[in-house]
Amino acid sequence: MTAVLTSVGSYSSTEAVHGLLKLVRAESPVLDVTYGNGTFWRDTDFRVVGLDKNPGRARHVRGDFKALPFASNSFPTVVYDPPYHPNGRSPSGEIVRYGSLGTNCASLKTEFLCGLSEAWRVSSRHLLVKCQSYVNGGTVQWMELWATETLGEPFEWLTTFRTNKRISSQWKTVRSLRRNHASYLVFSKASRWRR
């Protein structure tokens, strides 16, 4: 694991999550409301409760991150890594490979904010949110801005980049910057000056 993070760097998602949680002295148990394959938690010393809607991937609890089955303030630390594309299909009609959220960009934002509010509700101290903004149909989907407009100024903000971002064969012309980064925002319910 990386000992000291800089605000921008080439870190794996595991390094980013662990580095930020250690930086803010996040407490266990950590509720991961979008557990998926558990990628963040390989070789971890955090006690993690994994929630996923898919019963095959729900480590501990099956549930929807937009309606969490927990009381308010029931976990000191919550991690939220929502899908960042709306439901879609390839030109051949196949469902897209990655998880999706909403049926279009407007519903993606609504569902992202619903999940964000739920994650904030059940957190008693820290909420770590992974955001991946992108351009779809000429419109930028600014997940970082959605999060800060809802929860205010984050306590910490880490931007990670990767050099080998997947490029779709459907993209014949490019009219926007290629976004090969993710942002990790940590929001704190504690005083801004205490970690």
Amino acid at 60: H
20-45 pLDDT per residue, tens: 999 999 999 999 999 989 989 988 89
Domain 8-188: which topology? Rossmann fold (3.40.50)
**pTM for this entry:** 0.83
Best CA proximity match to 127, nearest among 60, 30, 55, 59: 30
Query: What are the domain boundaries of the chain?
Result: 8-188
pLDDT in tens, 84-110: 655 544 444 444 434 556 556 677 789
Residues 30 and 137: their CA atoms lie apart, in Å, by 36
